[in-house]
């Protein structure tokens, strides 16, 4: 039974599992827990007392094993949909005891082979026992090379020592050096040894004590598939039911948002009120009478209560998801797979003509055009005093008019302010020009709007403009060649003319995003690691606030005008975050349209409810490990040639990466 109907993201996080003990009657285990309200079980596949060294056989690896019945005790659909295999917890492949190590290797191989035979979707691997996990990782890596589609979840406790505690960092305890504890380091070491394999994921053990908020944030960029919440982590509310601390509640909300499934583990440790039939949230449901038989049903009810309290998906995301369905086959795939974290190549606005459905999608972003209308209104009022409003006509040019939304916004601004307007709509796409002509005729704008079917860089205007309006911005501000286009169109503008936008700045920040890194890695080539992608970022950890990169101002009358840029940035990450991995950099922009009217997607100043732009993502060919407290130095260049513009980027500290996209060999925007 899913946790509930929620207006938010319909994802795997609405399904809750339960960790069970070994029982050779698997049909009973499954029936008891499914009827109790859980969606799946995390169940051991082998009798816990089994050791290969105790089997009297010349070939221990081929011995008949004490599994939980045959594969026939459940249907294939039941095995696949309702069972996650739990590998024996005694396994220790890095033990100093040779017998235990060899037994562990044999058992791990046998259990995973059986799980694969059952077509399980996932198996839970035990936590590495010591500081070294090299042999364990080597063995798992070998299995991953030949594994079917099954996921391996490495169980990792969610712990990190207090870095401000003198006894936890380079300190002493009873005369002995105490190493800081950070389970992320254990996970990172393991996955590095397995070369960031896409089928290796994390199952976090959530305990009663939690690390700092910054430390927890790192995990949202990691491939966390499940969070195992122990019943002894729950508190008791005033009515006697289990509940979680505010910090645990916030953490679970994060798990829901990032599609991480919850697994409950342990025995009931709360004495519920006698005769109670209500759920932990104070609500009753259709399953109450039946589900009360399950000893930890009240904990499940509470998790369901938190899920149903989750913030709903913003309305503009609902709309954009529906719009994406109609654009083309590739975006239909986004709809099928989930449009979040889907890598898309940026538009080539000068080389390619947009399709009608693409125009239609982005024209629906009313917020953007409201901001443009506000900017034009302010510019008109500043340009023409009230006493001259009825006698003076403002010449306004929309360069890159598309199918006319900026023309409409400008004319509405003129009507709103009582100013007279003459509009030139300049558009290079001949297909969009057809729609423009129809729009002008339909709206009766023939006396106000002149349509120019031409590239703005080639057109010779019959008169100078008071106001130049454009929407040529990309996800990184300048990445769709707005500087080059507006520099070319600047000759239309009067010396005291106004450009809308008047300036724009790009921003960038380091991120952990295993999902995107593995998606790029699947291509197995250099080109894709040197391409900047437009992507609706979701499963990532933002490691530091974004910093400004390049700023462009229009009109630009500088005698040494150049659109080439170079920027070096240093990111200081709070030491309490702990060590982390950087998979790449997320890019945004913020634009000043006119005076105090702005729009953008930089997280701290983003225009609410605007969906025209997704962030941009600059990947790194090899993830960069940054030790706690170390700075991260990033360099980025905007390079201009005679026929193209491109970016190059690299990291120089704490370690040096290659310079990506040298000479625009992999990714560029054509002039």
Phi-psi region of 418 (alpha: psi -120 to 50; beta: other; left: phi over 0): left
User: Would you state the torsion angle of the CA atoms of residues 257, 258, 260, 262, taken in this order, to the nearest 10 degrees?
Assistant: -20
* Annotated binding-site residue? 369: yes
DSSP 185-229: HHHHHHHHHTTT-TTEEEEEEE-SS---HHHHHGGGGS-EEEEEE
* Annotated binding-site residue? 359: yes
* Annotated binding-site residue? 225: no
User: In whole angstroms, how large is the CA radius of gyration of the chain?
Assistant: 30
Token output for 66: 């004490």
| Element (DSSP H or E) covering residue 156 | strand 151-157
Token output for 10: 């319909």
DSSP 635-662: EEEEEE-SSEEEEEEEEEESSPPPPBTG
96 vs 88: CA distance, rounded Å: 19
Token output for 31: 């029936």
Cis peptide before 555 (omega within 30 of 0): yes
Q: Which of 197, 107, 199 shows the shortest CA–CA distance to 148? A: 199
Which is catalytic among the residues 19, 111, 185, 480?
480
Q: Which of 607, 396, 405, 619 shows the shortest CA–CA distance to 504? A: 607
Task: Compute φ and ψ for 436, nearest 5 degrees.
Answer: -60, -45
| Residue keyed to tokens 């982390």 | 580
Q: Which of 421, 423, 416 shows the shortest CA–CA distance to 374? A: 416
What is the biggest distance separating any 2 CA atoms in the chain, rounded to whole angstroms?
A: 105
Phi-psi region of 664 (alpha: psi -120 to 50; beta: other; left: phi over 0): left
CB 470 within 8 A of CB 500: yes
Which is catalytic among the residues 471, 484, 602, 648?
471
Q: Assess whether 471 carries a catalytic annotation.
A: yes
201 vs 190: CA distance, rounded Å: 11
| Residue keyed to tokens 């070319």 | 488
* Annotated binding-site residue? 533: no
Residues in a beta bridge with 594: 597
* Annotated binding-site residue? 71: no
Report helix, strand or coil for 395: strand
285 vs 386: CA distance, rounded Å: 65
* Annotated binding-site residue? 150: no
The annotated binding site for S-adenosyl-L-methionine is made up of 359, 368-369, 427, 455-456
The annotated binding site is made up of 359, 368-369, 427, 455-456
What residues are annotated to the active site?
Answer: 471, 480
């Amino acid at each position: 039974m899913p946790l509930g109907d929620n207006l938010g993201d319909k994802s795997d996080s609405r399904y809750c599992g339960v960790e069970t003990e070994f029982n050779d009657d698997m049909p009973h285990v499954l029936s008891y827990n499914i009827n109790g309200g859980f969606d799946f079980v995390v169940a051991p596949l082998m009798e816990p007392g089994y050791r290969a060294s105790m089997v009297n056989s010349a070939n221990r690896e081929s011995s008949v094993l004490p599994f939980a019945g045959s594969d026939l005790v459940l249907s294939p659909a039941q095995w696949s949909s309702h069972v996650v295999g739990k590998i024996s917890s005694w396994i220790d492949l890095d033990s100093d005891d040779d017998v235990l190590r060899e037994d562990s290797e044999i058992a791990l191989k046998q259990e995973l082979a059986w799980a694969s035979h059952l077509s399980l979707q996932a198996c839970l691997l035990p936590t590495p026992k010591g500081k070294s996990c090299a042999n364990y990782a080597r063995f798992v890596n070998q299995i991953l090379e030949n594994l079917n589609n099954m996921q391996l979840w490495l169980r990792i406790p969610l712990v990190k020592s207090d870095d401000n505690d003198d006894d936890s960092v380079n300190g002493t305890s009873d005369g002995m050096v105490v190493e800081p504890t950070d389970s992320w380091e254990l996970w990172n070491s393991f996955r590095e040894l397995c070369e960031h394999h896409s089928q290796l994921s994390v199952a976090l053990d959530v305990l009663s004590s939690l690390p700092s908020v910054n430390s927890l944030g790192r995990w949202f960029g990691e491939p966390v598939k499940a969070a195992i919440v122990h019943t002894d982590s729950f508190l008791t509310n005033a009515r006697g039911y289990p509940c979680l601390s505010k910090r645990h509640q916030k953490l679970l909300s994060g798990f829901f948002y990032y599609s991480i499934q919850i697994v409950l583990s342990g025995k009931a440790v709360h004495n519920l009120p006698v005769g109670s039939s209500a759920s932990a949230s104070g609500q009753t449901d259709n399953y109450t009478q039946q589900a009360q038989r399950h000893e930890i049903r009240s904990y499940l009810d509470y998790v369901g209560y938190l899920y149903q309290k989750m913030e709903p998906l913003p309305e503009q995301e609902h709309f954009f998801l529906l719009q994406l369905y109609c654009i083309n086959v590739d975006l239909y795939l986004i709809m099928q797979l989930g449009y979040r974290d889907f890598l898309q190549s940026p538009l080539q606005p000068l080389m390619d003509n947009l399709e009608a459905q693409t125009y239609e999608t982005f024209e629906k972003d009313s917020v953007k055009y409201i901001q443009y209308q506000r900017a034009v209104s302010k510019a008109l009022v500043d340009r023409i005093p009230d006493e001259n409003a009825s006698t003076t006509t403002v010449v306004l040019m929309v360069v890159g008019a598309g199918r006319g939304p900026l023309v409409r916004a400008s004319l509405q601004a003129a009507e709103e302010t009582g100013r007279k307007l003459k509009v030139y709509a300049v558009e290079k796409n001949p297909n969009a020009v057809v729609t423009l002509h129809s729009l002008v005729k339909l709206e009766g704008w023939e006396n106000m709007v002149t349509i120019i079917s031409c590239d703005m860089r080639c057109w010779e205007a019959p008169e100078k403009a008071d106001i130049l309006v454009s929407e040529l911005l990309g996800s990184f501000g300048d990445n769709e060649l707005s500087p080059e286009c507006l520099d070319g169109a600047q000759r239309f503008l009067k010396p005291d003319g106004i450009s809308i936008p008047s300036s724009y700045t790009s921003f960038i920040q380091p991120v952990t995003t295993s999902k995107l890194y593995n998606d790029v890695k699947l291509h197995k080539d250099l080109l894709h690691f040197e391409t900047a992608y437009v992507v609706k970022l979701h499963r990532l950890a933002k490691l530091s606030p974004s910093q400004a990169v390049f700023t462009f101002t229009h009109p630009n009358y500088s005698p040494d005008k150049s659109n080439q840029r170079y920027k070096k940035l240093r990111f200081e990450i709070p030491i309490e975050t702990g060590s982390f991995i950087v998979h790449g950099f997320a890019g945004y922009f913020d634009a000043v349209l006119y005076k105090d009217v702005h729009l953008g997607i930089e997280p701290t100043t983003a225009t609410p409810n605007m969906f025209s732009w997704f962030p941009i993502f600059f990947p790194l060919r090899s993830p960069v490990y940054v030790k706690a407290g170390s700075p991260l130095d990033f360099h980025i260049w905007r390079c201009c040639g005679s026929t193209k513009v491109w970016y190059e980027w690299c990291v120089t500290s704490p370690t040096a990466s290659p310079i990506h996209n040298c000479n625009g060999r992999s990714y560029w925007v054509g002039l």
